[in-house]
C-alpha cells in the first residue's frame, strides 16, 4: 500500500500514512480549472524509455523532461520524480511543444518540489534501532542487540558496542564509518593514482560539510569520509575527479575530457550524488 499526502489548493496537507519508513516520492502538478496540486510518496520509478524530450534548467542543474502521450488524459500533467527528472503527460489533443512550454512555465513550482524532495531525504538527527543508513551504496537497517551490560549495534557486516542505555547511535556509527573511511579510501586512491598516472603528494580524509573532495595547489587531495557510504563506482569517480585536478586545476573542457577518459560513466555517478546528497547530509 502506498503512503500519500494530498495537498489542496490552499496548501493544507491531508496525511494518510502507513506505518514504517517513508519511501522516495514524486510530485504531481495537474493543469486544470483549480490548479490543484497533489504529491505522492511511493517507490522509485523506472526511468522513462528513450531520450529526454527537453531539459529544464534550475540553477546549475539540468532536469530531463520525459514526455508521453495519454489518450485518456484531459490536461497536461507534470510529475517530479524521485530521480529529479520530470515526466510530462500530454493529453489526447495536446502537443509536445505546448507541453514543454507548460513545464517551463511551472519552473518555480518544480523548484519548490525539488526542495521538498531534498528535505525529505535529509537523515534524522537521531539514529535509533531501525534507522536506515547507507554503506557502500546499499541501505542497511541499524539493529541493536543486548549482550550482557552492552548493546551490540550492527550496520550490515559492521558491528560495534554501545552503552546499554543508548538510544541515539548516530555519533557512534558516524565515528565508526570515519574510521572505516580512513582505512579504505587512501589505498583506493593509491590504486587509481597508478591507473591514471596522477600522483598526489598527500591524502587526507575529512569531515567536509559541503563538498565531496578537494585538491590543493600543493597536490594534496582531501576526501569526504562519507564516500564510504556511496557505491564503489561513485567513490571512484570522486577520487578520479580530484586526481584529474592534479593535471587540470579547473573545470575546463580539457578537465572533463580527462575525467571521461578515466571514468567514462562519470555522469551516472554525478546523477547518483545529486539524488542522494541530502540523504548523506550534504
Tens-place pLDDT, residues 81-134 = 877 789 899 998 899 999 999 999 999 998 888 877 766 666 678 888 888 889
Domains of the chain: 4-121 (no CATH), 135-167 (no CATH), 172-276 (3.30.2010.10)
Tens-place pLDDT, residues 225-237 = 999 999 999 999 9
Query: Which residue bears the cell 554525478?
Result: 270
- The whole-number pLDDT of residue 167 equals 86
Q: Name the band, by pLDDT with cuts 50, 70 and 90, for residue 19.
A: very low
- The whole-number pLDDT of residue 33 equals 34
What DSSP line would sit under 132-164, residue for residue? EEEETTEEEE-EEEEETTEEEEEETTEEEEEET
Instruction: Give yes or no for a contact between 90 and 96, defined as CB atoms under 8 angstroms apart.
Output: yes
Instruction: Give yes or no for a contact between 121 and 276, defined as CB atoms under 8 angstroms apart.
Output: yes
| Grid cell of 255 as nine digits | 578537465
Instruction: Give yes or no for a contact between 40 and 6, defined as CB atoms under 8 angstroms apart.
Output: no
Pairing of strands 86-90, 61-69: parallel
Using CA atoms, how far apart are residues 52 and 47, in angstroms rounded to an integer? 10
Reported as type and span, the H/E element at residue 208 is none
| Grid cell of 1 as nine digits | 500500500
pTM over 0.95: no
Reduce the DSSP state of residue 246 to 3 states and report it.
Answer: coil
Q: Name the band, by pLDDT with cuts 50, 70 and 90, for residue 51.
A: low
Amino acid at each position: 500500500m502506498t503512503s500519500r499526502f494530498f495537498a489542496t489548493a490552499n496548501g493544507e496537507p491531508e496525511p494518510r500514512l502507513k506505518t514504517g519508513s517513508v519511501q522516495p516520492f514524486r510530485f504531481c502538478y495537474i493543469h486544470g480549472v483549480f490548479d490543484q496540486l497533489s504529491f505522492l510518496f511511493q517507490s522509485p520509478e523506472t526511468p522513462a524509455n528513450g531520450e529526454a524530450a527537453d531539459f529544464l534548467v534550475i540553477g546549475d542543474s539540468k532536469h530531463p523532461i520525459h514526455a508521453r502521450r495519454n489518450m485518456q488524459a484531459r490536461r497536461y500533467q507534470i510529475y517530479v520524480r524521485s530521480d529529479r527528472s520530470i515526466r510530462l503527460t500530454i493529453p489526447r489533443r495536446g502537443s509536445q511543444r505546448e507541453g514543454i512550454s507548460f513545464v517551463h512555465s511551472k519552473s518555480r513550482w518544480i523548484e519548490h518540489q525539488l526542495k521538498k524532495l531534498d528535505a525529505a531525504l535529509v537523515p534524522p538527527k537521531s539514529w535509533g534501532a531501525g534507522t536506515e543508513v547507507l554503506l557502500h551504496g546499499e541501505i542497511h537497517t541499524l539493529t541493536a542487540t543486548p549482550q550482557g551490560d552492552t548493546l551490540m549495534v550492527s550496520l550490515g557486516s559492521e558491528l560495534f558496542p554501545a552503552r546499554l542505555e543508548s538510544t541515539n547511535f548516530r555519533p557512534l556509527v558516524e565515528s565508526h564509518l570515519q574510521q572505516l573511511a580512513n582505512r579504505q579510501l587512501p589505498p583506493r586512491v593509491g590504486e587509481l593514482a597508478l591507473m591514471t598516472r596522477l600522483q598526489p603528494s598527500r591524502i587526507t580524509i575529512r569531515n567536509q560539510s559541503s563538498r565531496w573532495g578537494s585538491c590543493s595547489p600543493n597536490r594534496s587531495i582531501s576526501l569526504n569520509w562519507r564516500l564510504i557510504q556511496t557505491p564503489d563506482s561513485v567513490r571512484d569517480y570522486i577520487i578520479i575527479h580530484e586526481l584529474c585536478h592534479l593535471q587540470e586545476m579547473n573545470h575546463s573542457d580539457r578537465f572533463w575530457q580527462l575525467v571521461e577518459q578515466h571514468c567514462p560513466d562519470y555522469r551516472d555517478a554525478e546523477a547518483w550524488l545529486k539524488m542522494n546528497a541530502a540523504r548523506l547530509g550534504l
